[in-house]
Amino acid sequence: MPRPIRTLGVTAVLLAGTCATLSGGGAPAGAAKRTCTAWASPPAKVALTSHTTIRPQLRGSSGCDPDTADGGATASLTAPGQRPYAQRWEHFGDRETIELDAALDPTGRYAITDGHAQVYDAQYRRVPSSWRTTTTTVRYAARFVAVSSSRHRAQGTLKRYGSDGYRRAAHVTVALQRHTADGWTTIARATTSARGTVGFDRALPGSRSRYRLVSHGSKTVWRGYAQLADRG
């Protein structure tokens, strides 16, 4: 899981801000109040396997652009049924590293929340900030292996990842799809066998059409995709 928070090096900035305040420095009269809205940017979807790494980047509104110092931000990563994990970005644009393991970490909705940014203006004063919560959905990965096709048949074997690795997925609905000018269209459906195999005995017409296999997903497992050879 995420590495621990690192220590901020903003003591000099805070001291400089104190000096500026004592000397009467301040924002120009009538100046608009500046605020910073910060957030992390994890991927919307994460396919969980034995070792999965995501690297959310710290981003912010225009008010987060520093005049004197960029202290980055801290936040908490929350996962279903687990305690929050501390996150730390050294500066805006920095990326935090989050390590996930299917044997240890749950599927579900993860959130990066309760963040606090540290940005200072030209008078060395901390800019008021808010945090925008972002989320990512984590599910087990799925994939097809031993995929082959001809003009009259397409076949493959579906495997789904779980806490003990990839296993053949039995009794799962699989769609055979063709790509046209209107997008992907399902032209047939079948169910995997007890050993996870699936086959479609039908013509694959149309020059320059692309075909793929797509498995049904669930609340804990993503869909699996397998591109077949272009026809034509």
11-140 topology per CATH: Immunoglobulin-like (2.60.40)
* pLDDT at 21 > cutoff 90: no
Give the mean model confidence (pLDDT) for residues 72-97. 96
What pLDDT score does 163 carry? 83
What pLDDT score does 141 carry? 97
What pLDDT score does 5 carry? 37
Tokens of 158: 């579906």
In contact, 81 and 101? CB cutoff 8 Å: no
Indicate the range of 35-39, 86-90, 148-152, 155-159 predicted with least confidence: 148-152
In contact, 211 and 178? CB cutoff 8 Å: yes
| pLDDT tens-digit map of 97-134 | 999 999 999 999 999 999 999 999 988 899 999 999 99
Question: What pTM was estimated for this model as a whole?
Answer: 0.80
d(CA 148, CA 84): 45
59 or 28: which leads in pLDDT: 59
Give the mean model confidence (pLDDT) for residues 75-83. 96
d(CA 173, CA 198): 9
What pLDDT score does 32 carry? 52
Domain 11-140 shares a fold with domain 142-227: yes
Architecture of the 142-227 domain: Sandwich (2.60)
Give the mean model confidence (pLDDT) for residues 184-188. 95
Q: What angle do CA 61, 62, 64 make, to 5 degrees?
A: 75
Q: Are strands 173-180 and 142-149 parallel, antiparallel or unpaired?
A: unpaired
User: What residue spans define the domains of the chain?
Assistant: 11-140, 142-227
SS3 6: coil
1 or 14: which leads in pLDDT: 1
